[in-house]
Structure 1
Amino acid sequence: MERKSQQRPLRADAERTVRAILEAAERVLSSHPAATMEQIAEAAGVARTTVHRRFTSREALVDALTAWATRQFYEAVTSAHADSAPPLVALYQVTANVLRVKISWAFAMSRTTPEDPEVARAHADVLDQCDRLFRRAREAGVLRPDTDLVWARHVYYALIHEAAQNRSDEAGEADDVDELATLVVDTLLRGIGRQGSSLSS
């Protein structure tokens, strides 16, 4: 028991070190995609040997970064309890959570590929959760009864993508992300046209 209690701080310290390296890699590679392991180590505040001990190569570091971002993306959706929370509440929460990940881990998210089994599994599960949420939203009257849910999901994904891509430099703050989430959901549910307008009017 004594040996286990002594190891826990080491594991926690190792996790903090890895997290610091990944966060530094995201910051550095977002600005300088060709940055070296040495530059990443400097940004993380650790020795170069520490980075090489955790990651055998620059490619391994980038792979770990994309895997981390994928897990954050998956957890962002599942933590919103889309299957149990009221549909409108869940929709806002999922949107805000996903935007935080896409903004905070933009470089890593841009490197994920559907060929990666972990990425494929995460996105397939997220797709299922999104479809179930949209069905519940239609049943609850949040969406019109005649809503094409596949089209609605495509529009929703596109709105999130644009909100993340076109954010202001200060949009990493929580309040700004909440505002972006509100904009995405309001645009999805209410559109941008004047109520009652039509092609025939």
Structure 2
Amino acid sequence: MDEDAAPRRVRADAERSTARILEAAENVLATDESASLERIADAAGLARATVHRRFSSRTALLDALAAQLAARYVQGLADAHTDTAPPVAAMLRMTETVFTLKIAHRFAVQLSASVTPEVLEGLDRLFVRLRDAGAIAAADPTWGRRVYLALLHEVNDLPADSPVLPAGRDEVAARAELLVTTVLRALGGTGI
């Protein structure tokens, strides 16, 4: 039985180390995009060799950050019930999740690899539902998704005190409301 316990312990240790590396990488790279793996190892409180054992290169580390964020986007789509909830409500919930992720993971959101085919397909299904429910008039759901993603970056880049953000709301809710209303109106809907 002790033989079975050892591999689990090593695996748990490796998982904790990987999580620490990814968290440290996110924090360090948010302030210095060119930070070295050594600096990330220091921030994680681990030896550089440990970082290299987990990630063979800087590219592998960036790929892991993108994959982690993509998984969170997919989970956000599921949590917002984009396939079953009323489509406008689902879009608003999903958008709040996206802005929460964007605020918490400022570096990783710049990684285009985090927008995977699975994320794009989930968004396309949502835009089909929005069209079918009459919330948008745009015939092509892919166009709706592209408008949404383009405006998402623009709304994310607004300063917190921007006069276009709805007043009296927390940052995430204000950004989500502005984005959803703008996209729905741009695509022939009436907004929220």
TM-score, normalised on structure 1? 0.72
Structure 1 residue 50, shift from structure 2 partner? 2.3
Aligned position for 1:172:
none
Corresponding position of 2:117: 124
Letter paired with 1:148: A
In the alignment, what sits opposite 2:167? none
1:158 aligns with 2:150: yes
Question: Shift of residue 40 of structure 1?
Answer: 0.7
Q: Which runs of 5+ in 1 are unaligned?
A: 114-118, 170-174, 196-201
Amino acid at match of 1:155: V
Contact 1:156 1:188 in 2 (8 A): yes
1:75-154 maps to which residues of 2 (within 5 A)?
75-113=75-113, 123-143=116-136, 146-150=137-141, 151-154=143-146
Kindly tell me the number of residue pairs found equivalent between the two proteins.
Answer: 178
Q: TM-score, normalised to structure 2's length?
A: 0.75
* Residue 10 (structure 1) shift: 4.1
Map Cα deviations across residues 174-194 of structure 1 (whole Å, 9 max, x no partner).
x42233112211222346xxx
2:172 to 174, 177, 189: 177
Does the aligned pair in 1 maintain the 2:70–2:119 contact within 8 Å?
no
- When residues 14 and 147 of structure 1 are mapped into structure 2, their CA distance, relative to the original with a 3 A threshold, is same
Conserved 8 A contact 1:131-1:149: no
Partner residue in 2 for 1:187 = 182
Q: Counterparts of 1:34 and 1:132 in 2: how far apart (Å)?
A: 37
Report the CA distance shift for 1:66/1:187 in structure 2 as closer, same or farther (over 3 A). same
Q: Residue 64 of structure 1 corresponds to which residue in structure 2? A: 64
- Specify the code of the residue in structure 1 equivalent to 2:139: D
Which residue pairs with 1:31 in the alignment? 31
| Separation (CA, whole Å) in 2 of partners of 1:190 and 1:84 | 22
Q: Would the alpha carbon gap of residues 8 and 182 (structure 1) be closer, same or farther in structure 2, given more than 3 Å must change?
A: farther
Structure 2 unaligned segments of length 5 or more: list them. Answer: 162-169
Deviations 1:4-24 (A, max 9, x none): 456445433322221121121
